[in-house]
A and B are shown apart, each in its own frame.
Chain A
């Protein structure tokens, strides 16, 4: 059995959720969840609708605060520091890249979409912006398709291209953690594969939290996988074990093998 966070040589976690409970009004979306994500690993988070997967990501970049009536107990640590105790939420958000389920191309050119965050951070030089835009679009496997029309509106791209644009944008401020919330909902299978390949390469540079409805996607990509059910963490472990014959919990076995509900 694999235990994580052990002192003997195990890496210090990049992200830690400690006893996290989130309520929307009276309804609890997460109950006492403790989980961590190490540097340079992809942590897959699976579970049926309403399991609290998206909520978990929102606590990390503090966009949960934008939802009226949401209450958070417990702690969310980034490099050991409680993100809720940072005075300026945008300071936390600048360290985290977030990709939403449906692509949101901002109503500006492809170039400006990717240059948005660097510009806000004060990057002004054209050469540096150009370089960053090219690098992020390349990392998101979109550069070759748009390099000749960077001035076109980002909203005019196809759904799959827009999602890759969103990923390029999430990478544009050099995040330490990349959160993907069911990124492949609106993306065709070929593009999904290309993005998955890109993620494997990106893992070398950052920690990745991958929320997905496709259990096979977690199996292909994740180093470790967490299974959430109705707001509770059922189990977390090495992906091979979670998807193998002997996960710790019977419900995990049923879910990953499609015998659920």
Chain B
């Protein structure tokens, strides 16, 4: 270059430098974001791997799967007659979760609609805060409520010998999963564009017709996600059901039977087992099963949603 290096040359150099710095910054940010995304997947797989690792030696070395899934005889500590029949635990979990959803779905979605569509301003905010407060109650407190309040109420109402039952646990689980359903359900309804509401109202639809014929179909996927997150919360909940369902290894025949869930069993027994023993490992098999149940629930949801989309 013939021009002497002047002020303009320095400026140009600085601009090039700044552009390079910008590019580097961009790369770093991109890497961080990618790391966050990948790590979520890695963590889930890692958890599954570690649970499975503890379970595998027993799963392929001595556990009678027929007995595990087909028998209700759970005698993990017995010296003479050791049995690992998890049928009662599995059915206990399903019974409590199932009944909880019977209460929670109408309550949860039933609350999401009025909060999202029929209340405004301060009322709306107040309602949301109250519902979210429900989510902040620790599960041991729920267990306490089940033990001290619902227990005598159920005994009085149904003339039952004991109030620590499927019904008790289901009521608690329902109340615990309602806040999630309301929050996610309300988000799903809020995500429906206002233009849909206006278009429907301009055609003479009443508020309720708008909700039933336009909003619910439009928000279907989100509402389903809300329900399934509630199911996930209920299946995985431990402390409240441990305290409120009676901890009896029986196959439930009605809502007034005591049961024991998979989660409660793991929580109650893991601390007393010797590391590496069969009892220790069978609890990890239960953990793997729990993982599988959640996985199937999510997969089903995914397939159902895809089915809706294709139509």
Contacts and interface: CB of A to CB of B under 8 A. Distances in A.
Interface string B177-208: 00000000000000001011011111111100
B196 A61 contact: no
Contacts of A98: 202-203
B198 to A, nearest CB: 6
Contacts of A94: 203-204
A116 B201 CA distance: 11
- B195, B200, B204, B206 pick with most chain A CB within 10 angstroms: B204
Given A91-B204, A107-B217, A120 B209 contact: yes
26 contacts: A63-B198, A63-B201, A63-B202, A90-B204, A90-B205, A90-B206, A92-B204, A93-B204, A96-B202, A98-B203, A100-B195, A102-B195, A104-B193, A106-B199, A106-B214, A106-B218, A107-B196, A107-B217, A108-B217, A116-B205, A117-B204, A117-B205, A119-B213, A120-B203, A121-B204, A172-B203
Interface string A195-231: 0000000000000000000000000000000000000
B257 to A, nearest CB: 44
Interface of A: 61, 63, 66, 90-94, 96, 98, 100, 102, 104, 106-108, 116-117, 119-121, 166, 169-170, 172-173
A96 B204 CA distance: 9
Given A90-B206, A120-B209, A66 B196 contact: no
Nearest to A113: B199
B203 A169 contact: yes
Contacts of A104: 193, 195-196, 198-199
- A92, A106, A108, A173 pick with most chain B CB within 10 angstroms: A106
B201 A66 contact: yes
Contacts of B199: 100, 104, 106, 166, 169
Contacts of B196: 104, 106-107
Interface in B290-304: none
Contacts, number: 63
A218 to B, nearest CB: 23
A70 to B, nearest CB: 14
A167 to B, nearest CB: 12
Interface string B223-264: 000000000000000000000000000000000000000000
Nearest to B196: A106
A106 B192 CA distance: 11
Contacts of A120: 203-205, 209, 213
B217 A100 contact: no
Contact of A93 (B193, B203, B218): B203
Contacts of B202: 61, 63, 93, 96, 98, 100
A116 B195 contact: no
A173 B196 CA distance: 18
Contacts of A170: 203
Contacts of B214: 106-108
Nearest to A58: B202
Contact of B201 (A90, A121, A166): A90
Contacts of A90: 201, 204-206
